[in-house]
Amino acid sequence: MEYLNLGKISLLIGFILIIIGFWGILSQKNIIKIIVSFTILDTGINILIVSLGYIKGRTAPIIDASVPQLADHNVLNSIVDPVPQALVLTAIVIGFGVTALLLAYAMKLFKAKRTLEINQFNDLKW
Amino acid sequence: MIRNFLIGLVLASFVYIFYNLYVSYEPKTELTGIAAHYAEQGAKEVGAANLVTAVVVTYRGFDTMGEVTILFLTASIIGFFLKLNKKDEKKVIIHKGTSELLVTSAQLLVPIIFLFGVYVFINGHLTPGGGFQGGAIIASGIALLIMANPNKEINHHAILWIESISGIMFVIIGLLGIALAGGFLDNRFISLGTFGDLFSAGAIPLIYSFIGLKVGAEISNILNKYQKSQKES
């Protein structure tokens, strides 16, 4: 079990979710299913970024009495990397914005043709 | 057939890339570079117990402003796309009625959900959570309201005012940081206080409260637009 620590497991889950997301985007015909695949892809990338900051045996970057401190709240040796977590916070918000926009487009497309099958929207096909 | 083959090819190449990354990945054993600086000096410089908040609001505060701007942009584009004309505004949403359970539990739960959202963003510098999370929780309360009564009128003007005022206050606090402390969005123009208290970490609770209100108002605005777009005959 030495090769499969928590960091590696979450890395693997992130990769699997990314591949599932790409599969959904490429193969599904229904626009709502494509949007759901986008969110799965988002989640996979977020898990991946967070797992890159993981350090074995350390705790979340929130300093309280239970976190071992060197001196004067110096926690160099007891927390995981806070930077990827902050980046993922940004990425989640952007992902929310993208999903909301996609849903608005889907709504507009449905009003135009009363269908959500992507094959019916062939106006720009050549 | 050829389509499935191409999809398989793309996915197989992704699997190949990810397999190589996975095999050659070596977990970190210690903090380096900028992360080490945040871990060593973050509590002293910023005074926030939650170092992620310290990074998001202070060290990378400009990013956060861009993020809030992107949310605003999303809300505006959705408003532009789903705009109704005067005639459609008067229509109502036709639905099969909502369940008694949902209506009653919405009355009971919505104030508690709002309170919890406010708790999450006011304690953003001490506990896991912060402005974006608190705002999303508040908006989930609005979503529950809309689900309990699809024809519920959400006060559009209140949402717009809350959003604009908190956005302007966010920028003003950032500019106060330039005038009274080290730079844009510097939180140290208010005293840092005792580490771990509710009123500590300088301006971070203020900034995160305004971000929380703004995000909550923006997401509620988006939900309101979606709700209105369902009106028919």
Chain A CA closest to residue B32: A81
DSSP states of B39-87 = HHHHHHHH--SBHHHIIIIIITHHHHHHHHHHHHHHHHHHHHHTPPPHH
Confidence tier at A62 by pLDDT (50, 70, 90): confident
Between A54, A60, A104, which is nearest B78 by CB?
A104
Q: Do the domain assignments include residue A51?
A: yes
- Global confidence as pTM: 0.85
> Which residues of chain B lie closer than 8 angstroms to A73, CB-CB?
43-44, 195
Query: pLDDT (tens digit, 9 = 90+) per residue, A63-91?
Result: 877 777 777 677 777 888 888 888 898 89
Mean pLDDT of A1-17: 80
CB of A94 within 8 Å of a chain B CB? The answer is: yes
Subunit contact B44:A103, Cβ cutoff 8 A: no
Subunit contact A107:B82, Cβ cutoff 8 A: yes
Number of separate domains in chain B: 1
Subunit contact B81:A81, Cβ cutoff 8 A: no
d(CA A4, CA B213): 42
Confidence tier at A4 by pLDDT (50, 70, 90): low
Q: Residue A20 is encoded by which pair of tokens?
A: 């599932």
Subunit contact A86:B127, Cβ cutoff 8 A: no
Q: Do the domain assignments include residue A21?
A: yes
CA angle, residues A30, A33, A34, in degrees to nearest 5: 90
Number of separate domains in chain A: 1
Most confident of the ranges A36-45, A54-63, B94-103: A36-45
pLDDT > 70 fraction of chain A, expressed in percent and rounded: 94
Region label for B70, one of left (φ > 0), alpha (ψ between -120 and 50) or beta (otherwise): alpha
End-to-end CA distance of chain B: 44
What are the beta bridge partners of residue A79?
A59
Q: CATH no. for residue A112?
A: 1.10.287.3510
Confidence tier at A124 by pLDDT (50, 70, 90): confident
CB of A2 within 8 Å of a chain B CB? The answer is: no
pLDDT of residue B140: 92
Subunit contact B51:A62, Cβ cutoff 8 A: yes
Residue count of chain A, please give it: 126
Q: Do the domain assignments include residue A66?
A: no
Subunit contact B51:A103, Cβ cutoff 8 A: no
Mean pLDDT of A104-120: 86
Subunit contact B11:A104, Cβ cutoff 8 A: no
CB of A6 within 8 Å of a chain B CB? The answer is: no
Q: Do the domain assignments include residue A69?
A: no
Task: Report phi then psi at B174, rounded to 5.
Answer: -60, -45
Between B18, B43, B78, which is nearest A101 by CB?
B78
Tell which of B25, B28, B65, B125 to mutate to test the A interface (max A CBs under 10 Å): B28
CB of A114 within 8 Å of a chain B CB? The answer is: no
Nearest Cα of chain A lies from the Cα of B223 at a distance, in angstroms, of 9
> Which residues of chain B lie closer than 8 angstroms to A60, CB-CB?
128
pLDDT of residue A3: 59
Q: Do the domain assignments include residue B132?
A: yes
Domain around A30: 6-57+77-120
Does position A1 have pLDDT exceeding 70, yes or no? no
Between A5, A79, A100, which is nearest B27 by CB?
A5
E strand spans, chain A: none
10-residue stretch averages of pLDDT, chain B, 233 residues long: 89 91 82 81 78 85 87 88 78 81 90 92 84 90 88 83 89 84 76 73 84 90 86 67
Subunit contact A100:B222, Cβ cutoff 8 A: yes
pLDDT of residue B109: 92
> Which residues of chain B lie closer than 8 angstroms to A105, CB-CB?
81
Domain around B142: 49-84+93-229
Q: Do the domain assignments include residue B24?
A: no
